[in-house]
Structure 1
Amino acid sequence: MTAAAKLPEPAATDCVLGLDVGGTSTRVVAIDLAGNRLASGHSGGGNPVSHGAANSVRNVSDAIAQVLVSVAPERVRAVVMGIAGITNLRNDAGEPMFDPVWREAGLTCPVRLVADAVVAFAAGTAAPSGTVLIAGTGAIATAIDDHRLAGRRSDGYGWLLGDLGSGFWLGREAVSASLRYLDDIGPGGPMVDSVIKALTPQSHSPATNHIIQEVMSVEPVRLSRFAPLVTQAAGDGDPVAENLISQAAGHLVRSIELIHTDPARPVVLAGSLAGGDTPVSHKVLSALSARQPDLVVHKAIDGAAGAAWLAARMVMSDAESLRRLHEVFVPART
């Protein structure tokens, strides 16, 4: 949805909507142009690839409806939604998939759809260009130029072909380590014990074949559920878990270095593993600091707020005002 005529200058009481649409959840925030958070909404995952078009549209619509209970649609000057796979977001008739959402919500303002990586980068910095690493269930590093995808990426190939250092990767490696222990060819410890316990019913003795069957009976990506067992054990000093954390961080740092060619530009870490307070994040930060002491690294905590700031850029032109507004929308996290 675009505006044909130039919009009037915004008032501080006008607001913008930012949406962070992922495979696990959909988050929406309304923030006025003075930086006040007015309302937020939350619903299920909105990624059409993992949830299907109908469920995706419904969840995005539900989250927006929660916000518009207390924010009149006519106050909204712009909307930005971050979502993966934006080039394919059309319905069977060729119409942009989410256009009915905006119409039914009564939103007549400009709406921009951007890649989830663009929103993650904006959630970490007001700089226009740099590199963002997203590491959660999956993992990808990608370059950002002028608040857009630059076309340079490392990994993000999915569980079968890549996502090295991701939550899936950690979970798979943890289960593999547990199988080696049961076959008496690898060390045990708290992490291995916790994985075996999670995969072995109380009525069974731990057995390699049973664990393999349990893992093979569900979607491979669900191996990511064991990643917290790795990070917890590593935090408690388990050497097997610590080794996996170091390997994961090494993969992620390598992905960043393959993409990040300009040391004057910032790096943003996002996702539950890289952007959170985790052993993986700590290792990545430490490695980057050791290799490039002057590198500026930020963490992206609130993707929806990053999307809202990008929406504010659609209606405001003063660079200094936008910089100050970014500090209010998404306070710096390092």
Structure 2
Amino acid sequence: MRSGASLPLPSRKYRIKTFLLSSARRVGEAGDLKDSSENRILIVDGGGTKTSAFLVRLGPADHVDVVASIRAGPANPVSVGWEVAEQNLRQAFEGLLGRSSPGTSSTLKVNYAVLAIAGTGREEVRSRMGAWFANLAIAERFCLLPDVALLVAGIGDQGVGIALVAGTGSIAWGINSTGQVARTGGWGFFLDDVGGGYWLGRQALQAVVRAADGRGQESSLTPSILKHFGLRQVEELVPLSSRLASKPILVAQLAPIVLQCSSQGDPVALNIVDRASNHLVEMVRCTARKLGWEAGGFPLALGGGLLEHSEELRQKVLKGLEAKNCPPATAALVDPVTAAARLVGHALAKEDWPHWKNVYWKGHPKI
């Protein structure tokens, strides 16, 4: 990829019909799925902030039709606990499949499910989550894997590469042809998560209070952030700080403000975004070194809200990798539906990637 080239986006062959949780029963209108011979797939993208679930049909020529989608709370059992994670996942399943209560029969089951759940990179977490889902008897076959790993499945036919995710937090994850897996980051907002949304938001807040003291440069971040919170003075951030400390998502929601100010040329915001991209570049490089790709040449999948919505940040990351002599062979934004459909396609064609045997947990309700 030449320097400054536009990031190629994967072609999308599906149509999305979105249903809110309150109207999820309308999924019952998709009754034609019950008797359809097409493959019905449940796709779940469960992170530490939210869970997105999709009910799709996999038709001929890799055509994917998203019949319905739904959102629920976070599903990472490591960060929110098992009770909360299972409750949010069950809520998503009930909304999409019409299951009224635990233990009752579903009005609609699926042929295959792909569960991309944060935290399942740990074997003990993956095994427990897999056994729990199998007991629900929703899918004839399913696989369970870390959410970041799913993105690698969407960038090529070989199942190798590195995924970089920058959303509320940040992580890089990769796998090579021998099945060696490496990760960098993903430690959580308190310990690390540099370059993620929370990190950007906190850097912006620090810039605002330092400017108020005269220790830092004035910037457009101050009026923008005060307006966001409905405040008049910087001092009013102090009583708000305890709430911000207990709810990281509120801090991460400042990231779009930082990116907007940066795109408008604000030097303070530009500096924050530059440092964020440098952190993300180092995460990819560190992962690449562990997998034998010191000189680049690997497929790179990008995901997470920051990278999805900020062309500026994407280009800074790609240019940074080139400047460090570690350019990817290809780079693309990958959405979970595209990646999951590809993973299912391989499974249905009995072309499972053998080097992924330790990445995902495969199961059947009758195990």
- Name the TM tier (shorter chain): 0.7 to 0.9
Q: Do structure 1's residue 96 and structure 2's residue 128 form an aligned pair?
A: yes
1:114 maps to a residue whose letter is: L
What is the TM-score with the length of structure 2 in the denominator? 0.71
Deviations 1:97-122 (A, max 9, x none): 46555554x53512221111111222
Could you say which residue in structure 2 is the equivalent of 1:181? 211
- Among 299, 317, 321, the residue aligned to 1:266: 299
For 1:46, what is the secondary structure of its paired residue? coil
Could you say which residue in structure 2 is the equivalent of 1:296? 330
- Map 1:1-334 → 2, pairs under 5 A: 13-29=38-54, 30-34=56-60, 35-44=63-72, 45-68=74-97, 73=108, 76-86=110-120, 87-89=123-125, 96-97=128-129, 99=131, 101=133, 103-104=135-136, 106-145=137-176, 150-199=180-229, 201-202=231-232, 205-207=233-235, 210-217=236-243, 218-219=245-246, 221=248, 222-260=250-288, 261-262=292-293, 263-290=296-323, 291-292=325-326, 295-300=329-334, 302-317=335-350
1:296–1:12 Cα change, 3 Å:
farther
1:131–1:156 Cα change, 3 Å:
same
Deviations 1:117-159 (A, max 9, x none): 11122234443111111111111112224597x4422222222
Q: Which runs of 5 or more residues in structure 1 are unaligned?
A: 1-10, 320-334
Counterparts of 2:247 and 2:213 in 1: how far apart (Å)? Answer: 22
| Residue identity (%) | 27
Counterparts of 1:58 and 1:305 in 2: how far apart (Å)? Answer: 26
**CA positional deviation for 1:88:** 4.3
Counterparts of 2:176 and 2:44 in 1: how far apart (Å)? Answer: 21
Deviations 1:64-113 (A, max 9, x none): 344435x9756x332220111223448xxxx8346555554x53512221
Deviations 1:150-207 (A, max 9, x none): 44222222222211111111111101111111001211121222124445734xx432
1:140 maps to a residue whose letter is: I
Counterparts of 2:65 and 2:145 in 1: how far apart (Å)? Answer: 22
**CA positional deviation for 1:285:** 2.2
Counterparts of 2:201 and 2:308 in 1: how far apart (Å)? Answer: 18
Provide the aligned C-alpha RMSD in A: 3.0
Counterparts of 1:155 and 1:83 in 2: how far apart (Å)? Answer: 17
1:133 maps to a residue whose letter is: L
1:270–1:113 Cα change, 3 Å:
same
The more displaced of 32-41 and 265-274 is 32-41
Could you say which residue in structure 2 is the equivalent of 1:8? none
**CA positional deviation for 1:255:** 1.0
Q: Which runs of 5 or more residues in structure 2 are unaligned?
A: 1-35, 99-105, 353-367
1:53–1:246 Cα change, 3 Å:
same
For 1:110, what is the secondary structure of its paired residue? strand
Do the aligned residues in 2 keep the contact of 1:15 with 1:33 (CA within 8 Å)?
A: no
Counterparts of 1:223 and 1:313 in 2: how far apart (Å)? Answer: 40
**CA positional deviation for 1:38:** 4.8
For 2:114, what is the secondary structure of its paired residue? strand
- The alignment of Structure 1 onto Structure 2 pairs a total of residues equal to 297
**CA positional deviation for 1:303:** 1.4
Counterparts of 2:261 and 2:158 in 1: how far apart (Å)? Answer: 36
1:219–1:125 Cα change, 3 Å:
farther
Counterparts of 1:131 and 1:81 in 2: how far apart (Å)? Answer: 19
1:119 maps to a residue whose letter is: L
Could you say which residue in structure 1 is the equivalent of 2:20? none
For 1:275, what is the secondary structure of its paired residue? helix
Deviations 1:278-317 (A, max 9, x none): 42222112323454556311112x2144223323322213
What is the TM-score with the length of structure 1 in the denominator? 0.77
**CA positional deviation for 1:220:** 6.1
Do the aligned residues in 2 keep the contact of 1:143 with 1:153 (CA within 8 Å)?
A: yes
